[in-house]
């Protein structure tokens, strides 16, 4: 098999990986973006309100725009899954194995993002984005003055309840145990909210409606079921980050996230990372794009350093006479 060689390979075509790719390809480095799909979590956002510079956009539209921008700079792209990254003996290069092929690269940018966990109840998938949501901080503003329920685990559930209580007319906070777990101040604050109803010892068993969600069914620990009318159900069951393909080469924190420092540097000199799979505090598109750009520039500077060149400080330049100054 012919092993194709690249200067930088980016894993993941969500907003972070696509942004990294744009900044690498624009420097005319030979860049390959490998991804299972286009857009990642952007595909779960039919209405996007908080990405600066866009009004009335959607996640898939942003993904397509970013992809076009990347391809404009002659970046290459392949739809595949990265299954293993290894160091190559006697070289600083890395080998990247996918389900269908194998590549060799000088530097790697990881942007594999995360996938929210489902609740696993009947009809859940049917009502995704039609009343069933997985990101309260993203979608709570769509429920101003409306009736909502939230179900989930630990701090995610508390945060969801507090955010919804600021927007919704009513919030049912559903949890399996007798007591809420997590930050005591948040629990006290929730208990004081007049529009929040705690529903302990219960789980959501069923969601239903016509085109949009109208009703959920709750079952308590003694088996008694009751239906309540809601406009929105927020599921905050955490999310999965799959780093099996790279975990032997980089430091991963206790939450399963890639540890990065300034500029998306990981503990491996040739590996950079950005977006939701890293230890950044705010998992939002604008942060994923910004950090993707930074990780892309860091990866480019790394390959320039291997060539004995100085690299760039940012992606803009000024020409004075015959000399080009990079900043
Ligand atoms: C329901 C929902 C609504 C949201 N709404 C908003 C919102 O309104 N505003 C906002 O700012 N943020 C929102 N977010 C958060 C936002 O979508 C994420 O912060 C952002 O998508 C993270 O980008 P990313 O590139 O790091 O990861 P992702 O978007 O998760 O993309 C990761 C990519 O990597 C690919 N990949 C993973 N592993 C591999 C592998 N081994 N090989 C090849 N490819 C791989 C995936 O297929 C995917 O394409 C929302 C999230 C959800 C779940």
Q: Which residue, 240, 241, 259, 237, is CA-closest to 250?
A: 259
Q: Which residue, 265, 269, 268, 264, is CA-closest to 249?
A: 268
Place of tokens 């390809």: 25
**309 CA distance to ligand 1 middle (Å):** 34
Q: Which of 135, 232, 250, 286 to mutate to test the pocket of ligand 1 (most atoms within 8 A of CB)?
A: 135
Q: What is the DSSP code (8-state) at residue 118?
A: P
Q: Do 132-236 and 4-114+241-326 fall under one CATH topology?
A: yes
pTM of the entire structure?
0.87
Kindly report the protein residue whose alpha carbon is nearest to atom 12 of ligand 1.
284
Residues 142, 143, 145, 147, Cα dihedral to 10°: 160
Atom of ligand 1 nearest to the CA of 39: 49
How many Å apart are CA 323 and CA 285, to the nearest integer?
36
Q: Which of 47, 79, 83, 112 to mutate to test the pocket of ligand 1 (most atoms within 8 A of CB)?
A: 112
Q: What is the pLDDT of residue 310?
A: 83
Provide DSSP, 183-197.
-HHHHHHHHH-TTEE
Q: Which residue, 310, 266, 325, 311, is CA-closest to 291?
A: 266
User: Taking the CB of residue 157, how many other CB atoms lie within 10 A of it?
Assistant: 25
Atom of ligand 1 nearest to the CA of 242: 38
Atom of ligand 1 nearest to the CA of 285: 11
Q: What is the pLDDT of residue 327?
A: 60
Taking CB atoms and a 6 Å cutoff, what residues make up the pocket around ligand 1? 11-17, 34-37, 40-42, 44-45, 48, 50, 81-82, 111-114, 116, 133-135, 138-139, 242, 245, 275-276, 283-286, 288
Q: Where are the domains of the chain?
A: 4-114+241-326, 132-236
Q: What is the pLDDT of residue 322?
A: 83
**284 CA distance to ligand 1 middle (Å):** 9
Q: Within the chain, which residues score under 70 in pLDDT?
A: 325-327
Q: Which of 9, 10, 14 to mutate to test the pocket of ligand 1 (most atoms within 8 A of CB)?
A: 14
How many Å apart are CA 275 and CA 323, to the nearest integer?
35
Kindly report the protein residue whose alpha carbon is nearest to atom 33 of ligand 1.
12
Q: What is the pLDDT of residue 319?
A: 77
Q: What is the pLDDT of residue 136?
A: 95
- Give CATH superfamily name and number for 132-236: FAD/NAD(P)-binding domain (3.50.50.60)
Q: What is the pLDDT of residue 2?
A: 85
**196 CA distance to ligand 1 middle (Å):** 30
- Give CATH superfamily name and number for 4-114+241-326: FAD/NAD(P)-binding domain (3.50.50.60)
Q: Which of 40, 234, 282 to mutate to test the pocket of ligand 1 (most atoms within 8 A of CB)?
A: 40
């Amino acid at each position: 098999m012919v092993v194709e060689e690249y200067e930088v390979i980016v894993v993941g075509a969500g907003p972070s990986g696509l942004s990294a790719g744009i900044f690498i390809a624009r420097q005319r480095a030979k860049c390959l973006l490998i991804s299972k799909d286009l857009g990642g979590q952007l595909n779960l956002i039919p209405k996007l309100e908080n990405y600066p510079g866009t009004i009335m956009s959607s996640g898939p539209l942003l993904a397509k725009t970013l992809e076009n921008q990347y391809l404009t700079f002659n970046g290459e792209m392949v739809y595949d899954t990265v299954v293993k990254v290894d160091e190559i003996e006697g070289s600083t290069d890395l080998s990247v194995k996918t389900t269908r092929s194998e590549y060799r690269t000088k530097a790697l940018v990881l942007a594999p993002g995360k996938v929210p966990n489902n609740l696993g109840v009947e009809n859940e998938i049917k009502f995704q984005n039609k009343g069933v949501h997985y990101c309260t901080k993203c979608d709570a503003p769509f429920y101003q003055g409306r009736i909502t329920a939230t179900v989930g685990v630990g701090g995610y559930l508390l945060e969801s309840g507090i955010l919804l209580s600021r927007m919704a007319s009513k919030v049912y906070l559903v949890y399996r145990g007798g007591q809420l777990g997590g930050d005591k101040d948040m629990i006290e604050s929730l208990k004081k909210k007049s529009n929040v109803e705690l529903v302990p010892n219960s789980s959501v068993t069923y969601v239903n409606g016509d085109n949009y969600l109208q009703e959920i069914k709750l079952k308590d620990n003694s088996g008694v079921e009751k239906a309540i009318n809601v406009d929105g159900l927020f599921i905050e069951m955490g999310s999965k980050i799959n780093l099996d393909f790279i975990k032997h080469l980089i430091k991963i924190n206790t939450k399963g996230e890639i540890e990065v420092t300034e500029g998306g540097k990981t503990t491996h000199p040739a590996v950079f990372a950005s977006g939701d799979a890293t230890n950044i505090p705010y998992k939002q598109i604008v942060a994923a794009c910004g950090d993707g750009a930074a990780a892309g520039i860091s990866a480019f500077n790394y390959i320039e350093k291997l060539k004995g060149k100085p690299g760039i400080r940012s992606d803009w330049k000024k020409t004075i006479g015959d000399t080009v100054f990079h900043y």
